[in-house]
Amino acid sequence: MSTAPTTAGTATGAAAAPLAAAASTRRRRGSTDRRSPLLTVLVILVLPYFLLPLYWLVVASTKDNGQLFSTFGLWFDQINLVSNLQQVFTAQGGIFWTWIGNTLLYSVVSAVGAAFLATAAGYAFAKYTFPAGTALFSVVLGSIMVPTTALAIPTYLLFAGVNLTDTRWSVVLPSLVSPFGVYLMRVYAADAVDTQLLEAARVDGAGELRIFFSVALRLLAPGFITVLLFTLVATWNNYFLPLIMLSTPEKYPLTVGLAQWQSAAAAGSGGQVLFSSVITGSLVSIVPLVVAFLYLQKYWQAGLSTGGVKG
């Protein structure tokens, strides 16, 4: 699963979940009497596996470069988090800020764009029967199988041909395509947008596009947001595409920037970049996503339980 989610298309896979649940009308939830302390303890015993690297990251972020390699990895030594953070944000003239900005720019623009394109297309595929509609949809679905490398190199060459390599567009444009988002929105729109509502609007004399923008879009909002959030994550974590496309450090997203720092630190860059900066920078880079996920949790919760109430 390592590279699939880096393409905008496949990364939205998890979105199927809340969507399917929210869009479906069956629901229930039994009593909570079945809780088992034993099973809970068993599962909690497994959790360290998932949390260990993150715990390590937090611990390591408090160590300076020397301690990193001289103290036990899973426990604290002297706390140097503040000076590490200072290093991260001041290294190379504060380029880390630029990387954060780039990452935000790439992921927000890509996510909003991809979600919008996917919503419009998914809605059309779901709610209109039009010539070539089925054929087009099949082509879009089939494209999910295409490996990233099959595209990366020709895309790079084509972009080079039109002078798009090493521009911000070179990262954003390919991320706008989310075939899986289209698929999701088609499923979602089929359920969430009532055809009779559309008919009623038509009888009232509303134009088709107006119906989409003023009636359907509102109903599609939960699906839209889900596609948006997952494309956001996919672009935030994207490494391969910007790695290939970009060569100017000022345009790097966090992933490529951190990987570059890591190699700089490994190359012993005359004290300019340190392993401690890479580690602390990594921590900083995942904090926004972890916070987003905590917040997102509410969305799933809501999405899932809405379905539950209905059942």
Partner 1 sequence: MFEIASTPLSRRAALAGLFGVSALGLAACAGSNSGGGGNGASATPVSSDDFAKAMDTDTELTFWTWVPDIQKEVDLFQAKYPKVKVKVVNAGQGLDQYTALRTALKAGKGAPDVCQIEYQYISSFLIGKNLLDLSGMNGFGDLESQYPEWVWNQVARDAAVYAVPQDTGPMGMLYRDDLLKAAGVQAPTTWDEFATAAQTYRTASTNSYLTDLPPNQAGQMIGFMWANGAKPFAYDGDKTVTVDLTGTEAKQVVEFWQGLVQKDLVAVDPDFTDQWYQGLSAGTYASWLTAAWGPVFLQGTAKNTSGNWRAAQLPQFTAGGKATGNWGGSTDAVISTTKNPVAAAELARWINVEREPAMKLATEQFLFPPLNSVLQDSSFVGQTPEFYGGQKVNEVFVEASQNVNTDFEWLPFMDTVYSSYTDVMGPAITNRGDMVGALAQWETKIKDFATSQGFTVK
Partner 2 sequence: MTTSVRTAAAPAGSPAPRRRGASPALRRQHRAAYLLVLPFMVVFTAMLVVPLGYAAYLSLYREQLIGGVSFVGVQNYVDALSDPAFLSGLVRVALFLVVQVPIMLGVALVIALLLDSGVLYAQRFIRLAVFLPYAVPGVVATLMWGYLYGPDFGPFAQMATGLGLPKPPFLSSWMLGSIMNIVTWSFVGYNMIIMFAALRGIPTELYEAARVDGASELRIAWSVKIPAIRSAILLTLIFSVIGSFQLFNEPQLLRTLAPSVIDTAYTPNLYAYNLAFTNQNVNYSAAVAFLLALVIAVLSYVVQLSAQRKERRS
From residue 73, alpha-carbon distances to 1, 38, 54, 57, 85 in Å are 28, 31, 12, 9, 19
When asked if residue 240 is in the footprint of partner 2 (CB under 8 A), the reply is yes
When asked if residue 163 is in the footprint of partner 1 (CB under 8 A), the reply is yes
Looking at residues 125 to 164 of the shown chain, list those that interact with partner 2 (rule: CB under 8 A).
125-131, 133, 136, 138, 140-155, 157-158
Site map for partner 2, 76-115, x if CB under 8 A?
----------------------------------------
Looking at residues 6 to 45 of the shown chain, list those that interact with partner 2 (rule: CB under 8 A).
6, 10, 13-14, 16-18, 20-21, 24, 26-30, 32, 34-37, 39-40, 43-44
Within 10 A of 279 (CB to CB), how many other CB atoms are there?
Answer: 26
> Which one-letter amino acid corresponds to residue 230?
F
**Tokens in use for 1?**
């699963």
205 binds, among partner 2, partner 1, none (CB under 5 to 8 A by kind): none
Do 246 and 171 meet the contact criterion of CB atoms below 8 Å apart? yes
Closest CB to partner 2 among residues 91, 141: 141
Looking at residues 252 to 291 of the shown chain, list those that interact with partner 1 (rule: CB under 8 A).
256, 259-260, 262-273, 275
Question: Residues with Cβ < 8 Å from 227, sequence gap 6 or more?
Answer: 12, 15, 114, 115, 118, 119, 178, 181, 184, 185
Question: Nearest distance from residue 256's CB to partner 1, in Å?
Answer: 8
311 binds, among partner 2, partner 1, none (CB under 5 to 8 A by kind): partner 2
Report the candidate in 100, 143, 107, 131 with the shortest Cα–Cα distance to residue 10: 143
When asked if residue 208 is in the footprint of partner 2 (CB under 8 A), the reply is yes
264 binds, among partner 2, partner 1, none (CB under 5 to 8 A by kind): partner 1
Looking at residues 66 to 105 of the shown chain, list those that interact with partner 1 (rule: CB under 8 A).
66, 69
Selected from 166, 169, 191, 215, the binder of partner 1 by CB under 8 A is 166
Question: Nearest distance from residue 240's CB to partner 1, in Å?
Answer: 11
Cα(183)–Cα(125) distance, integer angstroms:
9
When asked if residue 160 is in the footprint of partner 1 (CB under 8 A), the reply is yes
286 binds, among partner 2, partner 1, none (CB under 5 to 8 A by kind): partner 2
When asked if residue 248 is in the footprint of partner 1 (CB under 8 A), the reply is yes
When asked if residue 131 is in the footprint of partner 1 (CB under 8 A), the reply is no
Site residues, partner 1 (CB under 8 A): 66, 69, 153, 156-157, 160-161, 163, 165-166, 243-244, 247-249, 256, 259-260, 262-273, 275
